[in-house]
Structure 1
Amino acid sequence: MDFGEYDNRKNRKVESGVPDVCKSEPCMMGIDEAGRGPVLGPMVYGTCYCPIAKSSLLKTIGFADSKTLTEEQRDNLFVKLDAEKANMGWLINILSPNYISNSMLKRNKYNLNSLSHDTAIGLISRVLELGINLTEVYVDTVGDFNSYQAKLKSIFPNIDIVVSKKADSIYPIVSAASICAKVARDKAIKNWKFIEGDLFHQFDYGSGYPGDPKTKQFLSENIDPIFGFPQFVRFGWSTASSILDTKALPVKWSSKKAIENSIKTPVISNFFGVQKQETVKEKSHKFFSERCLKSVKNLF
């Protein structure tokens, strides 16, 4: 799986070729994610699909829950999966740390469960767009599995959908999806390009989970008091935000009344005077462009 050079600040989708047999024969599909809990790096959703008649291939290859395997074992399994190009296909959706945090901190709450559900729905929709004869979908649950399953069935009424706890250890097709997701996340983490400089890449940041002492040390020692963390960090996580509260410079916001008083009332004669030449637009500081942020003209 070669991602090549890409912008870490944005989401990334990677797809295999579509086997012809998957367009003619009824197919099954599994969906799983990797990296939901870490405070560092992307969350990756993966899916694998194949004809139902070829499901024995999954057991022959030896798929298992990716969390029970070593990185080398996961890589080897993915190589075997990808080699079955005539019978199997896969899709991967990489959600950047920046996108995850920005989504969760929207004014209209968009929590991690909703983000996960929408990503899974997007994968199913994409597989159907590719012309795959999809009849069965198996999903590792996020939140209550009954309500999640009902939600998916309401959107895809012509597909048999099963949402289950620990689906990656029950259904081989979900285990295959789990391998795709975990291998993609491992490679994304290992090949992460720090736009802030190479200093961060040399630091041992551990597993990326909030409870890992090495991860906590990385967060504590790699924070700018003004601009915060590098893009690698999910700043919306409480582990990161608590460090921001103690180490970042405080921000004092003006009251609504103070802002209103500072706004000058326009004079009508200004609209009939000589038209001024357009001023050159100032270039945004790279802090804002790196985080895909735009100025807000009207706060109230």
Structure 2
Amino acid sequence: MEEDTPANPVPDTGNADLSISSSTFLPPSIDKWRLLAGESYAYFSPCPPLLLPARDCSDPNTDYLILGIDEAGRGPVLGPMVYSAFYLPHDLHRSLLSKEYSFDDSKVLTATVRANLMRTLCTTGSKLHDSCGWATKVLSARDISSGMMRPVASVGGVYNLNAQAMDATIELIRGVVEERKMNVREVYIDTVGNPVSYQKKLEMVFPSLRITVAKKADSIYPCVSAASVAAKVTRDVALDVCYEAFKEAAGDTAGEGWGSGYPSDSKCVGWLRGNMDPVFGWGNECRFSWGTAKEMLELKGGERVDWPADDSDTQLMDFLLSSSDTFKGGDQELSEWFGKKTAEVL
């Protein structure tokens, strides 16, 4: 379980050495070192002051909480995918989020509006900070790819994006409801897949919760809209952090940036082509399991590596145990290098 990070109007996220624009708000959900190392991680905000002490879940008359979940960055070839949970008292759901702060689907809000909402959420004393809690799960590009590119016969088999998304959702709900003992009774989740099957799976895991999974939930339920903003801001800043680290290392050869990170973005594709190592491809910022990256490596890669067979150790042992008179000519030198059987020396 990740440790709660104290809320702070201007949180210290360990990114002071990065030359990100001073106008960019760095939320506490950004962990520079884990991002650059290609690690996935979770962040949970401290319990909102108005929800302390934790409410008694056994009392049916106690005001309960609702929780929304949404993601950002499912489709890009660069950067992490971020899932976010956002929870608050149900009686404040629409009055606070819709009317007072005008939360909406993050895609229809400008970057400035999203950043300002996130800043307010993280500012001690604001109504958002004092009555709302939130969490994020950052799934790194490296971990997404390693799961999707597992051999079918390996332990667990292929770990596809839908399975990774489901596990991230479950982790966030458990972290809020079970580990932090928040009195959540209703959960609303945005989905890009089949909402019926998705909802049934979650209801089996959390039978005591009233779960609603719906397409376009981020434009229907304000708590999902707020979750989408937290996810989008975290995703965008994470991408900036990764690019600034690349630019610092590349110096004058950094180019003009990598754009949004989506395969449909010509700037992103141009960056991939111009910064591809012929053997290793790219760094932890790239999802190697995406078609854009795989095709580029296959078509443009200048080197091809033929790895030894899995049974190479067995072949070497057979060689060591074989009689030296089996090997003639040039192979004799190799045989002598490995040594001879004890019986021959005697």
Rounded to whole Å, the distance in 2 between the matches of 1:232 and 1:12 is 15
1:119 matched residue in structure 2: 168
1:58 matched residue in structure 2: 97
1:198-213 residue pairs with structure 2 within 5 A? 198-199=250-251, 202-213=255-266
What's the offset of the Cα at 1:20? 4.8
What's the offset of the Cα at 1:216? 1.0
2:109 matched residue in structure 1: 69
Residue 257 to residue 30, structure 1, CA distance change in 2 (3 Å): closer
Structure 2 residue runs of 5 or longer lacking an equivalent are: 1-26, 56-62, 152-156, 322-346
Letter aligned with residue 96 of structure 2: L
Rounded to whole Å, the distance in 2 between the matches of 1:239 and 1:113 is 19
2:334 matched residue in structure 1: none
- Residue 86 (str. 1) matches residue 126 (str. 2): no
CA deviations 1:38-91 (Å, max 9, x no partner) are 000111111110011221211121100001111101111222333322210110
1:19 matched residue in structure 2: 48
Letter aligned with residue 112 of structure 2: E
- Residue 194 (str. 1) matches residue 242 (str. 2): no
TM normalised by structure 2 equals 0.72
Contact 1:51 1:87 in 2 (8 A): yes
Deviating beyond 6 angstroms after TM superposition, the runs of 4 or more aligned structure 1 residues are none
Structure 1 stretch displaced more, 77-86 or 213-222 = 77-86
CA deviations 1:114-164 (Å, max 9, x no partner) are 110110011000001111001000000142100000000111010000000
What's the offset of the Cα at 1:13? 2.0
Contact 1:116 1:142 in 2 (8 A): no
What SS does the corresponding residue of 1:49 show, helix, strand or coil? strand
2:292 matched residue in structure 1: 239
Structure 1 residue runs of 5 or longer lacking an equivalent are: 268-300
Contact 1:194 1:232 in 2 (8 A): no
What SS does the corresponding residue of 2:74 show, helix, strand or coil? coil
What SS does the corresponding residue of 2:87 show, helix, strand or coil? strand
1:214 matched residue in structure 2: 267
1:262 matched residue in structure 2: 316
Residue 87 to residue 255, structure 1, CA distance change in 2 (3 Å): closer
What's the offset of the Cα at 1:29? 0.3
- In the alignment of these two chains, the number of paired residues is 267
Rounded to whole Å, the distance in 1 between the matches of 2:254 and 2:218 is 31
Contact 2:258 2:268 in 1 (8 A): yes
Letter aligned with residue 40 of structure 2: N
What's the offset of the Cα at 1:194? 3.4
CA deviations 1:185-216 (Å, max 9, x no partner) are 11111122339923476542111111211111
What SS does the corresponding residue of 1:208 show, helix, strand or coil? coil
Rounded to whole Å, the distance in 1 between the matches of 2:164 and 2:130 is 32
Contact 2:184 2:209 in 1 (8 A): yes
What's the offset of the Cα at 1:259? 6.2
1:155 matched residue in structure 2: 205
Larger Rg: 2
What SS does the corresponding residue of 1:161 show, helix, strand or coil? strand
Letter aligned with residue 171 of structure 2: G
- Percent sequence identity is 41
Structure 1 stretch displaced more, 191-200 or 79-88 = 191-200
What's the offset of the Cα at 1:231? 1.6
Structure 1 stretch displaced more, 200-209 or 51-60 = 200-209
Contact 1:63 1:175 in 2 (8 A): yes
What SS does the corresponding residue of 1:210 show, helix, strand or coil? coil
What SS does the corresponding residue of 1:263 show, helix, strand or coil? helix
Residue 106 to residue 4, structure 1, CA distance change in 2 (3 Å): closer
Rounded to whole Å, the distance in 2 between the matches of 1:36 and 1:164 is 17
Rounded to whole Å, the distance in 1 between the matches of 2:88 and 2:119 is 16
TM normalised by structure 1 equals 0.83
1:7 matched residue in structure 2: 34
Contact 2:32 2:241 in 1 (8 A): no
- Residue 96 (str. 1) matches residue 96 (str. 2): no
Contact 2:247 2:254 in 1 (8 A): no
Contact 1:168 1:174 in 2 (8 A): yes
Letter aligned with residue 150 of structure 1: K
Contact 1:142 1:148 in 2 (8 A): no
CA deviations 1:193-248 (Å, max 9, x no partner) are 33992347654211111121111111111111122112211111010000111222
